[in-house]
Structure 1
């Protein structure tokens, strides 16, 4: 971020270069910091108020750069980029590490019986549905009926995948591969959960903008691209913990002490998942730019009617348009 005495602070500046992966990783590590979960509503509201006052050139005298920077951190982590509304704590990306740690640890620990497998897949998909809804494109709201159908379909997909894989692997493989049932179910359910929770974006399209943030039109292709990237990022987010820990546990259980002290397995896997997620949440979020780009030639080829509407509404249609892909 370029800031010097006499210049104005830019709340839209992402601080680190978002054209590079390292820059995106640093930014998302900054706003997904799990410690932000402990910041109270009063402090969050004060941060939003300071931001509003500053943008109106009415900030309190003596406001420092550090205060503005912290206000930006709180605002970017807790308020929806489309609406400016405060997001529920459990749906924020800063809650992904503690929430995901507990649920993933439980899924990896209790998968041997069908009731336990189904229960924790249901808990996980309920959590994912809430996160997906919270981080959707808010300009494409879901009806209560659509929301309920999406939730039921996603949780059913996770449970059916988990039970089907478990029954198949029990008959044909050893215990190690059975440990991967939770990950396979999570990956399959993400491919269902996220598109369903954001189905209106696919149906109606999302707003696309030129490089100066002027709205150019809407595009369903943009929605599909953004949602596809989010699906990949979410699977990548949980992959290291859910694919490496089964191997680690298999090796550790060859140790007599570890094998006989079953009480230690769940806490160990839970803390290990937390360690993975602490790194993987920003690592996965940063794989693709938040401000996603799309060539208008692609829109012209796949959505000719939408492209023609852009031509009618704008004197000049840019070669590339941008949109918020969500998280």
Structure 2
């Protein structure tokens, strides 16, 4: 039963993220026809960003529905929090978009610059090496930097938790709950 539910969730997420990306790309392509070519080259980045905004929350819908585990500073499990799940998923979406940003924005800018200077007209063989070199350089630094934006073990203030979680923690800690609770942001999950 659980495997069937996961398969359905993956399929739904895939279809909606792909549909969102394609819809974004088609809409933006129709809007940027009369704009400079560089603007048109940014459409794939917008499509990837849209896909991330759809896919990641859908893939982690169970966390949004039931909460993600929260811990104290000694790594003792305290319960589950939907607020922590929302924070973690938002940070993962932002990290994934930032991972794509340099490769999908800097590369078109460099290629546009080389095209305007006439370099690519004089040396047409440079198109592929220049594209791959710029993209490779961007990916070399962008992925680790985007992963490092947020700590894997994140914290959330007690006062930002849901009222029922706050109530449970107050009872558990005899009216003196921890100032912060911790959760796994889940950067490496889908």
TM-score relative to the length of structure 1:
0.52
Q: Which residue does the alignment assign to 2:157? A: 295
Q: CA deviation at 1:306?
A: 2.6
Distance (Å, rounded) in 1 between the aligned partners of 2:170 and 2:7: 35
* CA distance in structure 1 between the partners assigned to 2:134 and 2:145 by the alignment: 17
Residue 51 of structure 2 is aligned with which of 180, 186, 189? 189
Aligned to 2:165: 306
Q: CA deviation at 1:227?
A: 0.8
Rounded to whole Å, the distance in 1 between the matches of 2:117 and 2:159 is: 60
Q: Is 1:318 aligned to 2:178, yes or no? A: yes
Q: Does the residue aligned with 1:297 lie in a helix, a strand or coil?
A: helix
Q: Flag structure 2 segments of 5+ consecutive residues without an equivalent.
A: none
Mapped to 1, the partners of 2:115 and 2:147 lie a distance apart of 33
Q: Give yes or no for contact 2:111–2:130 (8 Å, CA) kept in 1.
A: no
Change (3 A) 1:247 1:294: same
1:199 has 2:61 as partner:
yes
Tell me which of 26, 42, 59 is aligned to 1:163: 26
**Residue deviations 1:180-224, cap 9 Å, x none?**
111111112211111111111111100000000000111000000
The normalised TM-score by structure 2 is: 0.87
1:180 and 2:42 matched: yes
Describe the shift of the 1:319–1:256 C-alpha distance in structure 2 as closer, same or farther (beyond 3 A): closer
Gaps of 5+ in 1: 1-141
Residue by residue over 1:98-149, the C-alpha shift from the partner in whole angstroms, topping out at 9 and shown as x without a partner, is xxxxxxxxxxxxxxxxxxxxxxxxxxxxxxxxxxxxxxxxxxxx62211211
Counterparts of 2:41 and 2:120, CA distance in 1:
17
Structure having the larger proportion of residues in strand: 2
> SS state of the match for residue 116, structure 2?
coil
Residue in structure 2 matched with residue 151 of structure 1 by the alignment:
14
Aligned: 1:284 with 2:146? yes
| Alignment length (residue pairs) | 183
Shift of 1:268: 2.6
- Offset of 1:256 from its aligned partner? 4.3
CA distance in 1 between counterparts of 2:95 and 2:145 reads 9
Contact 1:216–1:317, Cα closer than 8 Å, also in 2: no
Moved more, 203-212 or 242-251: 242-251
Indicate conservation of the 8 Å contact 1:176/1:246, yes or no. Answer: yes
